[in-house]
Amino acid sequence: MTRAELIAFIRHQKSFLCVGLDTDITRIPKHLLSEPDPVFSFNKAIIDATQEFCVAYKPNIAFYESQGASGWESLRKTLEYIPPSHFTIADAKRGDIGNTSAMYAHTFFKTYPFNSVTVAPYMGKDSVQPFLDWKDKWTILLALTSNPGAADCEQLEDKAGKRVYEHVLAAATTWAGPEQLMFVAGATRVEELKHLRSIVPDYFLLIPGVGAQGGNLQEVARAAMTADIGILVNASRSILYASLGIDFAQAAAAEALEMQQAMAALML
Catalytic residues: 93
Q: Please choose, from the candidates 65, 67, 69, the residue with its C-alpha nearest in 3D space to the C-alpha of residue 93.
A: 65
Number of Cβ within 10 Å of residue 158's Cβ equals 10
Nearest residue to 238 (alpha-carbon basis) of 264, 208, 262, 193: 208
How many Å apart are CA 206 and CA 185, to the nearest integer?
6
Distance of CA 74 to the CA centre of its chain: 19
C-alpha 268: how far from its chain's center? 24
- Please state whether beta strands 204-207 and 231-235 pair in parallel, antiparallel, or not at all (unpaired): parallel
Residue 224 contacts by C-beta under 8 Å, 6 or more apart in sequence? 185, 193, 194, 196, 197, 205, 207, 230, 231
Per-position DSSP letters for 82-117, written without gaps between them = S-TTSEEEEEEEE--SHHHHHHHHHIIIIIS--SEE
* Cα–Cα distance measured from residue 231 to residue 203, given in angstroms and rounded to the nearest whole number: 9
| Nearest CA-CA partner of 169 in 129, 148, 147, 141 | 141
